[in-house]
Amino acid sequence: MLDFYPKLALNNLRKSKDTYWPYMLTSIVCIATYYIMQSIAMNRGLLQVSGGAVAVSIFFLGTVVIAIFCVALLFYTNSFLIKRRKKELGLYCVLGLEKRHVALVLFFETLFSALFCLILGLIFGILFSKALFLALLYVLDFSTPIAFTISIPSLITTLVLFLLLYAVLFLYNATHVQRARPVELLRSTQTGEREPRASWLLTLLGLICLGIGYFIAVTVKEPLNALLVFFGAVLLVIAGTFCLFTSGSIALLKLLRRNKTYYYQPRHFISVSGLMYRMKQNAAGLASICILSTMVLVTISTTVCLYIGRDSMISSLNPTSISGRVTLLDDRTPEQLNTEIDAALEQDGIRPDVLEQRFLWRYADFYALRDKNVFTNAPDDTKQQPVLVSLIPLEDYNAMTGQQLALDASEALLFTNDASFSGNTAQIGSETLHILQQLDVLGPYQSNQVSTVQLSYEFVVSDFTQLQQIYCSATGQNAELEMCVYLDTQDDSALQKAIASALFEHTPPETIYSINARATVTESWNSMYGSFLFLGLFLGSLFLMATVLIIYYKQISEGFDDHDRFSILQKVGMSKKEVRATINKQILLVFFLPLAMAFVHMAFAYNVICNILVIFGMTDRLLFLVCCLVTFFIFSLLYLFVYRMTAHTYYRLVEA
């Protein structure tokens, strides 16, 4: 008798290939994906190279995201499976099996599918992890070879996670069957949903949520504000999407039904009434497809944009080989600092003449509140967004640019990243400055002192006496000077790192350096944005798989439900050609409405995402636009392919 239940479970798995095989394929992909990400995150070799610690941190975060997503995805597919099998399970009860026996069949089904998926998932994970690990090293631009090994801790972690998940799924299914009556299970597939009402209040709420979310996304200008409001806007758009698909779509279908000229045609009548009949169920699926499609577009386009544009970002933020600042604890001049730099290099055996260019200037800065052209010191507890005000003596500006400019005590030059600033005067504290010129660049190159995230204003003033007077007027304190340091040498990574190391080790203690070699920054950014790209493609693939799976199961569900209905229509005189045309119209509406809505979401999100990318150093909006369009084009091709494949399955089920 004990052999009966395993055999019945295996037979069920073989006969339910249309529903079980996609579920098992999804499980295999989830297991392989999680193992690959976990094995990369646990590779100790990554910690031995520059920037590897950043990559490991990102991949550990990725394992958490992937685990959560896999759990949600498998729960969704399992709920579809148990719903489709209610009639079969009810029939077992009618034929004499007790509910505990049905639970035993479900246990063996879960056990066999779990073993099959875990074995294949781990095998594919191990096989593909080597290739993907090499691809990762290429993306991260790591020249140091890192050993690849099969990660036993990753195998154990993956096994424990998914065995627990399968156990929870079995308990969920067994509890579901235990609570239902056999008659309810038998009639489950015949129980349709009532025609839902068109809630105009819910439709209006959806429009309001979408409108507010779109308004926030389009009007936000400050990068830091964009990051703060982004998730709020996302939640509003998600809520608005579900409201409009759930209620707004029903309202639209009812409006079409009232149009008698449109509605009373064979194709329109069947497709509109068919969608109306199960629109509540369809709406949730369509909204999920739309949201997942948007997630695919946003995830892949942003990570690809950051990876492609990393070189230009590095060059913009690090215009010379060595750049940064020095905190001055005394009245040190640029000439004295240059002498100290030469001495530090010589102690490490580096000739000072390897530095091809040197740019040094002193400055003092403070945070201020701006009201038009008036700048006042920002208190520590301010709730307003402060701006950064910097004061630079004309002596250092002339030395840096090679000019011989002269300024009166009341005159200044201004360099700012605030395009809205206008006027010929600026008041800082109680001091009023007449702005002779707004500079396009601060020196021979675009200054990296100007933040791309925060508004900043750099004033070149007549001398140190005026600098101290303006600073004291604004803050009530004496100015604490710092010095910008930009040193340029040949494009040699080892040399750049050696120069930076010499400055840290061999300069006097009263000279506190905070500088970076561009080679070190490049390694760190390659690691960070390469990791983002790798994780983005991983997550994008998972989101795409979830989208395909929801579409596929939705089409199977529709096919099973529509089989009898279209069979009756053919018997009362509707031709196969008319049936296929009706089916095609319904599928087109169901498929391409979420894609169109995802494109609209992405279009409105463009501005806020661009502002968020500024925080990462990406200011090239055109590059992001190109990445968005290319990603949408490729995604649309994949979406069209899925449409053709699932439509074929739907036709086969309906016409069977």
Given a cut of 80, whether residue 143 has pLDDT beyond it is: no
Would the pLDDT of 170 be above 50? Answer: yes
Q: What is the pLDDT of residue 628?
A: 92
Evaluate whether 465 touches 391 at the Cβ level (below 8 Å).
Answer: no
For the stretch 63-91, pLDDT in tens is 887 888 788 778 877 877 777 666 666 66
CA 189, 191, 193, 195 torsion: positive or negative? positive
pLDDT band, residue 604 (cuts 50/70/90): very high
pLDDT (mean) for 487-505: 84
Higher-pLDDT residue of 209 and 650 is 209
The torsion angles phi and psi of 574, rounded to 5 degrees, stand at -85, 130
What is the structure's pLDDT at 450? 45
Quick one: average pLDDT of 367-382? 84
Instruction: Classify strands 511-517 and 357-371 as parallel, antiparallel or unpaired.
Output: unpaired
pLDDT by residue (tens digit) across 257-270? 777 776 666 666 66
> Residue 392 corresponds to which tokens in the numbers above?
């630079």
Contacts of 526 (CB under 8 A, 6+ apart): 51, 140, 141, 310
Cα within 13 Å of Cα(591), Cβ side: 25
With a cut of 60, say whether residue 189 has pLDDT above it: no
**Integer Cα distance of 630 and 63 in angstroms:** 27
When pLDDT is cut at 50, 70 and 90, the band that residue 192 belongs to is very low
d(C-alpha 156, C-alpha 272), whole Å:
51
Q: What phi, psi does 369 have (nearest 5°)?
A: -100, 135
Among 622, 624, 608, 621, smallest CA distance to 224 is for 608
123-127, 225-229, 282-286: segment of lowest average pLDDT: 282-286
User: How far is CA 259 from each of CA 176, 196, 265, 280, rounded to the nearest angstrom?
Assistant: 43, 19, 11, 22
Contacts of 471 by beta carbon, 8 Å cutoff, 6+ apart = 364, 366, 391, 477, 478, 479
Cβ(635)–Cβ(643) below 8 Å = no
Residue 20 to residue 18: CA distance in whole angstroms? 6
What is the mean pLDDT of the segment spanning 625-640? 90
Average pLDDT for 385-414: 88
> What percent of the chain has a predicted confidence (pLDDT) above 70?
77
Q: Which is it for strands 374-377 and 482-488: parallel, antiparallel or unpaired?
A: unpaired
Cα separation, 246 vs 197, whole angstroms? 10
What is the reported pLDDT for 447? 47
Give tens-digit pLDDT for 7-21.
Answer: 777 777 777 776 777
pLDDT at res. 449: 43
Please tell me the predicted confidence (pLDDT) of residue 540: 79
- Mean pLDDT over 544-561 rounds to 71
Mean pLDDT, residues 281-293 taken together: 74
Length of the chain: 656
Cα–Cα distance between 363 and 460 in angstroms, integer?
9
- Average pLDDT of the chain is 78
The pLDDT of residue 267 is 61
Q: What is the pLDDT of residues 416-471, one digit of tens each?
A: 888 778 888 999 988 899 999 888 877 665 544 445 567 889 999 998 889 989 99
Q: Tell me, what's the pLDDT at 197? A: 62
Q: Output the DSSP codes for 164-227.
A: HHHHHHHHHHHHHHHHS-HHHHHTGGG-PPPPPP--HHHHHHHHHHHHHHHHHHHH--SHHHHH
Q: Cα(488)–Cα(357) distance, rounded to whole angstroms?
A: 5
DSSP for 34-84?
A: HHHHHHHHT-GGGGGSTTHHHHHHHHHHHHHHHHHHHHHHHHHHHHHHHHH
Q: Any idea which of 30-34, 82-86, 114-118 has the lowest mean pLDDT?
A: 82-86
Give the C-alpha separation, 643 to 640, whole Å.
5
CA distance 656 to 650: 10
Predicted local confidence at residue 230, as pLDDT: 82
Confidence of residue 164 (pLDDT cuts 50, 70, 90): very high
- Which one is predicted more confidently, 67 or 590? 67
Is residue 432 within 8 A of residue 470, CB to CB? The reply is: no
Res 39: pLDDT: 84
pLDDT band at residue 606 using 50, 70 and 90 as cut-offs: very high
**pLDDT computed for residue 633 by the predictor:** 93
Q: What is the mean pLDDT of residues 36-46?
A: 77
